[in-house]
Structure 1
Amino acid sequence: MPAAVYHQLPSLNGLKDSSAFFQLPPSSNVSTRRNARWRSPEAAVIPSFHLPMRSFEVKNRTFSEDIKALKLITAIKTPYLPDGRFDLEAYDSLVNMQIENGVEGVIVGGTTGEGQLMSWDEHIMLIGHTVNCFGGSIKVIGNTGSNSTREAIHASEQGFAVGMHGALHINPYYGKTSIEGMIAHFDSVLHMGPTIIYNVPSRTGQDIPPSVIFALAKNPNLAGIKECVGNDRVEQYTSKGIVVWSGNDDQCHDSRWDFDAVGVISVTSNLVPGLMRELMFSGKNPALNAKLMPLIEWLFKEPNPIGLNTALAQLGVARPVFRLPYVPLPLAKRVEFVNIVNEIGRQHFVGEKDVQVLDDDDFILVDRY
């Protein structure tokens, strides 16, 4: 700082009462402010064993082998406040329930989590929040896929920068592309870190054929495939040592135990994580699979996540708030869900409140978010 300016600063040495220089407002209570204890907001309250990422940890601290070992991954729901913003308190509670019931990983901002209705700012914030709060207890896989290669690259860079353990990538949808274009698209993001490729032709309008996966399989960052085509396709991959997660809850039991899938990326585990863990970890159990089938069929009568959003509202785990274009299931279906919960047993479902039918007027539909 130049001397001329330096000398303009007032000297405190000559002040007999320095408190006059730093005069506090008359209403200020120094003692109260000094002794007050700050409390963290409830939305971020987590048990102390959920360790956040540390600044000295490497960006990609998880290797593909760590992702390949996960048997139960939940495609986690994103709850909302009445104005359409994220309800992080409800979200944290839901993730905690997954951890407590033995779920090993979560997909953040996937189709179930309504990543398609998020801005990229919201998307990356939620990934970072999940890593910071729960990254020491569960693997966080961010859905950073896009039909634009440029967006997929940028989102994946940001996702790994905020600490996600792996990425989920879909093939370019709507506009679609050639086989060579698919390979080039995935090659553009695979180098960043552990990656699961997601094949769901019913949503993208284009199958990812095995030739694409075989061409990419040499990349050590390819953790595996979330496959929704069926168990014949699952076996095509597992017979060649490629890791597969079933993307269909109604097929996941047979995928796991008859076709050598490592596990499932599940919607149903949002609701009954303990039972889904038993289905994936405890050996063949056709009786349990049959017991869960009415719930699974109910969940997918309408496009996911309509059923799940309705169910979590009925269980009191999430507010009955929907971002359009999703709307709740009709009254008759909500009554059916109550009966399914009672048949399986309320104790197996997330949350502690009694399951309710809810009135149509209880639901809030948000069109600007």
Structure 2
Amino acid sequence: MAVFKGSGVAIATPFYEDGSVNYEEFDRLIEFQIAEGTDAIIVCGTTGEAATMSEEEHMQVVKHCIDKVAHRIPVIAGTGSNCTMTAVNLSKEAESYGADALLCVTPYYNKATQEGLIAHFSAIADAVSIPIIMYNVPSRTGCNIQPATAAYLVEHKKNIVGIKDATGNLAAAAELMHICSDIDVYSGNDEEVVPLMSLGGVGVISVLANIAPRQTHEMCALALAGDFAGARKIQLDAVPLIKALFSEVNPIPVKQAITNLGFNAGPLRLPLTKISDEHAAQLQKAMDDFGIKKIS
């Protein structure tokens, strides 16, 4: 059974001006997501700025999210690292806190071989019992999980169950689903949700869902029900907004969008900096055009 089907939000982490985590606002974001129908929360991923958190802070945010959600929907903890031992330790800790599953990115910077990827993900899988979703995002990591490698891992490690595909390569995704019918494939790109689900994907791990959770959930629900005409309309209507959300590197625009929505997302941590005025104006227009209204 899939960890979740539908829309999983790659939730942003709000900060105070001094850079500390704003847990009160984080709770508001979590409650907003659950109320709006989001199917799962992915905490401490790229959008959550985990890369600039200490390991202790990272796990505090994971535990807080798990405790706040309290099993109402699945919580998937981002526990990936370019150091296998660090990924193992973070994964074990997240499991001890009650995470429903883990999202583990390919080792970045090291540029592991396919053999290295098998060893890396196998070490994590052997250390925990909860499900693991691999995260394949070569544009950020410089490392790509080949379809045969992903299929091998799913075949040989029972708790490696899925992959977040942010490659932009639908042909490779189709090949993976052809050779491995047991893998749950999630789109890692908001502009490709419906195309990937038409091939057999089960949902999305989404940036868009931070500000449009109801629409993202509905798009996935329609696709899961076989109503691809309805799902396609939402997907196409969202194109300008998705483009605006990626006008600068994620999560720069989405944190501005969350602020526009009426939450206190706070600043970004360096080396990320505030969105440009030009892109901020484009983002607000795209939100308005998509019908996103500020929360009172």
1:94 aligns with 2:29: yes
Residue segments in structure 2 that go unaligned for 5+ positions in a row: none
- Aligned equivalents of 2:56 and 2:266: distance in 1? 24
Measure the CA separation in 2 of the matches of 1:206 and 1:66. 25
Report the CA distance between 1:121 and its aligned residue: 0.6
TM-score (norm 1): 0.74
Match of 2:148 in 1: 211
Work out the CA distance in 2 between the residues paired with 1:333 and 1:179. Answer: 38
CA contact (8 A) 2:147 2:173 kept: no
What is the deviation of 1:246?
Answer: 0.6
Q: Is 2:254 aligned against 1:308?
A: yes
Which of 84, 101, 105 in structure 2 is aligned with 1:170?
105
Separation (CA, whole Å) in 2 of partners of 1:341 and 1:184? 43
The answer to whether 1:243 aligns with 2:243 is no
- CA–CA distance in 2 between the matches of 1:71 and 1:340? 24
- Structure 1, 165-174 or 229-238: larger mean CA deviation: 229-238
- In 1, Cα distance between the equivalents of 2:84 and 2:68? 30
Partner of residue 337, structure 1: 283
**Separation (CA, whole Å) in 2 of partners of 1:335 and 1:289:** 22
**1:121-175 CA deviation, whole Å, 9 max, x = no partner?**
1111111111111132111111111110110111111111111111111121112
Alignment root-mean-square deviation, CA: 1.4
Pairing 1:231–2:177 present? no
Deviation at 1:66, TM superposition (A): 4.6
C-alpha distance in 1 between matches for 2:238 and 2:192:
11
**Residue 276 (structure 1) aligned to one of 200, 209, 216:** 216
Is the contact made by 2:134 and 2:163 (CA closer than 8 Å) also made in structure 1? Answer: yes
Distance (Å, rounded) in 2 between the aligned partners of 1:179 and 1:234: 17
**Greater share of residues in helix:** 2
After superposition, the C-alpha distances for 1:83-108 in whole angstroms (9 at most, x for unaligned) are 11111111111111111111111111
CA contact (8 A) 2:2 2:184 kept: no
State the partner residue of 1:289: 235
* Preserved CA contact (<8 Å) 1:79 1:86: yes
Distance in structure 2 (CA, Å) of the matches to 1:186 and 1:318: 36
Task: Verify the 8 A CA contact 2:133 2:162 in the aligned structure 1.
Answer: yes
Asked if 2 retains the 8 angstrom alpha-carbon contact of 1:237 and 1:243, the reply is: no
Distance 1:170 1:339 in 2: 33
Aligned partners of 2:292 and 2:83: how far apart in 1?
Answer: 43
Asked whether 1:103 is paired with 2:59, we answer: no
Q: Partners of 2:203 and 2:252 in 1: how far apart?
A: 24
Deviation of residue 314 (structure 1)? 2.3
Unaligned segments of structure 1, at least 5 residues: 1-64, 354-369
Aligned-pair distance for 1:237?
A: 2.3
Question: Shift of residue 321 of structure 1?
Answer: 1.6
Deviation at 1:259, TM superposition (A): 1.1
The reply to whether residue 74 of structure 1 matches residue 9 of structure 2 is yes
Give CA-to-partner distance per residue, 1:254-312, whole Å, 9 cap, x none. Answer: 111x2111011100000000000111002213222121110000111211111101111
Q: Which runs of 4+ in 1 moved over 3 A?
A: none
Q: Which structure has the larger Rg over C-alpha atoms?
A: 1
Q: How does 1:23-62 map to 2 (within 5 A)?
A: none
* 2:194 paired with 1:259: no
* % same residue: 33
The one-letter code of the counterpart of 1:305 is P
The 1:135/1:312 distance shift into structure 2, 3 A limit, reads same
Residue 59 of structure 2 aligns with which residue?
A: 124
Structure 2 Cα separation of the partners of residues 142 and 321 of structure 1:
22
CA distance, structure 2, for counterparts of residue 125 and residue 203 of structure 1: 25
